[in-house]
Amino acid sequence: MKDHYELVILGGGPAGLSAGLYAARARLDHVLIEKGAPGGQVLLTDWVDNYPGFPEGLTGFDLVEKMTEHAKRFDLNIELASVTRVEPNDGAPTTLHLEGGGQVSCDTLILCNGASANTLNIPGEMELRGKGVSYCGTCDAPFYRNMHVAVIGGGNTAIQEAEYLTKFASKVSVIHRREELRATKIIQEIAFANPKIEFIWNNTVTSIEGEKEVEHLNLLARDGTTSTLAVQGVFILIGVTPNNDGLPLQLLQADKWGFIPINKESQTALPGIMAAGDICSKEVRQIINAAGEGAVAVLAAERFLQNLKKSKFLHS
């Protein structure tokens, strides 16, 4: 890795890979920094059926591979590193501090850090993580062959994962705090038609119990009644929290959940810093708008760099 780049893209999910594609094609002096293999949350998605251009649908894996391959065709530069702190310098290049020491500076930065699964923060959740408590149906479903499992949540991820789990589990109980789902209608229709899926409405889970592995859940209904549900696994799919560790949240004017607001050009409150994808403060978190924001962010970065060159020229 060099000491300085015109553009640094932080994170290699769909937002970062799209930004990478546009940056590489614009021949910007760039690097995409990713702490593991590219992909982000798409790697947790068993099947993507709503990304245009793939009429048969495809796995999250395949979509990521295609996006990576596409950007690499134009010489996208990817480095394996972890950024611990982003330090804006009031107009001067932004400094990125790396894990294990070292730093990189950049004229423009695109934050594509993404988001991670929310935890419920209830008793038993941490203790039984990996022992029946999971945040990824696609990853762990095969361990629950012919078992009864629960899914907590009512959004797209929860209902799509519940459907996927029925390929392995004997029964899937979806526990939702409301009496209707937020998931896209077609996803709901498929789930309602699946005889292996049972819905437990208007209930929240208050604790997860088990000696060595998950044995049962304690539920609390909206009307105050409590009950117990015996399951061998529980999948917690209740939305996401932004990966914003080390970001200057106050200067970025992050919302109360820590997501970063952007304008139509993907610019944040800080000049030269753009954001794209699930880390942004927004209503809809889909692959398609993440990719769109990534592309728009690079165009904003290009304009910023052009203005920077002009002002340097005028002052030289």
Partner 1 sequence: MASEKVQQLTDAEFDAVIKSEQPTLVDFWAPWCGPCKAIGPVIEDLAVEYDGKVTIAKMNVDDNPATPGKFGIRAIPTLILFKNGQVVDQITGSVGKAQLVALIDKAN
Say whether 106 is catalytic: no
For partner 1, the closer CB: 121 or 250: 121
- Cβ proximity of 14 and 278 under 8 Å: no
Identity of the residue, 144 or 304, whose beta carbon is nearer to partner 1 in the bound complex: 144
Determine contact, residues 233/131, Cβ cutoff 8 Å: no
Active site residue 140: yes
Query: What residues form DSSP beta bridges with 4?
Result: 105
Of the candidates 215, 119, 134, 220, the one whose C-alpha atom is nearest the C-alpha of residue 177 is 220
* Residue at 160: amino acid letter: Q
Active site annotation includes 255: no
Residue 43 phi/psi, 5-degree rounding, is: -65, -15
Q: Rounded CA gap, 257 and 86, in Å?
A: 19
Report the nearest approach of partner 1 to the CB of residue 143 (Å). Answer: 5
Cβ(163)–Cβ(190) below 8 Å? yes
Alpha-carbon span 189 to 180, nearest angstrom: 12
**Which member of 46, 140, 278, 280 is catalytic?**
140
Shortest gap between Cβ of 100 and partner 1 (angstroms)?
8
Least distance (Å) from partner 1 to the CB of residue 141? 9
Q: Which amino acid is at 235?
A: F
Residues that bind partner 1 (CB under 8 A): 35-37, 39, 42-45, 60-61, 80, 82, 99-100, 129-136, 138-140, 142-144, 212-213, 233
Minimum CB–partner distance for residue 60 and partner 1 (Å): 6
Nearer Cβ to partner 1, position 63 or 262? 63
DSSP string, 135-174: S-HHHHGGGGTT-EEEEE--SHHHHHHHHHHTTT-SEEEE
- Report the residue number, 98 or 308, with the smaller CB distance to partner 1: 98
Q: Which residue among the candidates 136, 223, 255, 280 is catalytic per the annotation?
A: 136
| Residue 74 CB, nearest approach to partner 1 (Å) | 21
CA 286 to chain centre: 9
Name the residue nearer to partner 1 (CB basis): 208 or 305: 208
Catalytically active residues are 136, 139-140
